[in-house]
Every structure is written in C-alpha cells, then in structure tokens.
Amino acid sequence: MLVTLSLDKSLSHDVAIMVDVLRASTTITVALDNFNKVVAVKDKNNAVELAKKYNAILAGEREGATIKGFDTGNSPIEIKNFGGDTLVLTTSNGTRILKGMNAKSLVGSFVNAKAVAKLASEIAENHIEVVMAGVRGRFAIEDFLGAGEIISNFKDYDLDEMSQAAYMASRDGRMVNEAIKNSESARGLKKLGFFDDIEFCTKKDIYDVVPVYENGIIKKL
C-alpha cells in the first residue's frame, strides 16, 4: 500500500484523508458524537439557506472568528453544547478541501488518528492519500504534524518522502505541542480567545469516530 502526503489539493481516486487540525477536522469529529450528519458547505450564504432547509444548527468561521448570526463557530469545545439531526458547517479551509476530493473521503486529526488510519487501511485498494488543508493554499505546521500522527499508524506501508518526513516530525510529543501552540494558526486563535481549542485539538486518540464525506454530507461510519 502506498501512502502519500499532499497540500491543499487531493489527487487520489482511492482513499483520501483530509487533515485540518485547527480546527475543522477536530470539530467535525466531535460533532458526530451529537449529530447524525454534518453538511459541509463552502459558501456561507449557501450554509444559511441549507440550515433553514434542514432546520439545522448553523456553525462556521472566517479567519477563525465565528460568523455573525451563526449559532456557533468552528470550535470543537463549543460544538459539544449542540446536538440534533444536522449540523451545517462552513470553514475557511477544511470544508473547501473536502469539496475538491474525488476519492473515498475521510476526516482525520490527532483526536481520531488511530481510528481513521484503521478505516483507511480497510477500505483502500492500493493508495491512501493524506491531504493537509493548510491555510489558503499555504503550508500549516499543525496539519503536517497531524498528518504525521495519522501516518504513524500505517505499519509496513510504502511512504513517499513527504509522508516519511511528517511521520518523523510527529514522533517528539513535546516538540509537536510546542510547534502547534506557537503556529501562525494558533496565534490567530489565541487573539480570538480560543486558547482551550488549541489544547483540545492536540489530544491524541480520544475519539473512535471516523467522519466519512460523500456528496456534501459527512457521517460517521
């Protein structure tokens, strides 16, 4: 089995795992504990219309900040306070990446790294692609390290050089935590008051939930 790592775009037609550590991947995973499905939406106006259609909770952010008029933002901690059949979610990066995937699409992060790697291994035919969401097409160290944590669970697989690098970088827990807490994304979230979200998003394997994306809808398998 070949495992590759890419940024911003997905090329695989087999299995792809979207990684947006701060915070879409984490929020989606947490949400599926209390919701039957998450509707991932790129455009915020479309998100508003869909929330009305589904009588859903409406969540979203732009530049990390909660969108005015929405029920909540893209916070894994805040989302625990909501539940129901449907959550409509729009984010700056993660939901956009999901829309561009042509493979069987999963959502992964530190919080469900083992579970998402296990499912990917079971359903892939010959290629697992890990896709870092990044920030508007730019590299984000938290996604690189989160991808490495997921990749560390693929035993005896062929890793491309980017995957190898992410795997090796993710092995020192102290350095990983420091790098994420001091990342550009984390600094932005701190300014907005989301200190606890950053800490939460670095917790390892606290969920067995694996979000599966298909045709705009995310459900747990």
- Placement of tokens 């939930």 in the chain: 209
Element (H, E) at 215: none
Question: Taking a C-beta distance cutoff of 8 angstroms, is the pair 78, 70 a contact?
Answer: no
Angstrom distance (rounded) from CA 83 to CA 132: 28
Label the pairing between strands 57-62 and 65-66.
antiparallel
Angstrom distance (rounded) from CA 27 to CA 71: 14
Query: In the chain, which residues have pLDDT < 50?
Result: none
Which region holds residue 137: left if phi is over 0, alpha if psi is between -120 and 50, else beta? left
What pLDDT, on the 0 to 100 scale, is given for residue 93?
Answer: 85
What pLDDT, on the 0 to 100 scale, is given for residue 17?
Answer: 98
What pLDDT, on the 0 to 100 scale, is given for residue 221?
Answer: 83
What pLDDT, on the 0 to 100 scale, is given for residue 91?
Answer: 92
Q: Which regions of 45-138 does DSSP assign to beta strands (E)? A: 57-62, 65-66, 84-90, 104-108, 127-132
What domains sit in the chain, N to C, each tagged with a CATH number?
2-22+95-214 (3.90.1560.10), 26-92 (no CATH)
What pLDDT, on the 0 to 100 scale, is given for residue 108?
Answer: 98
Largest CA distance in the chain: 48
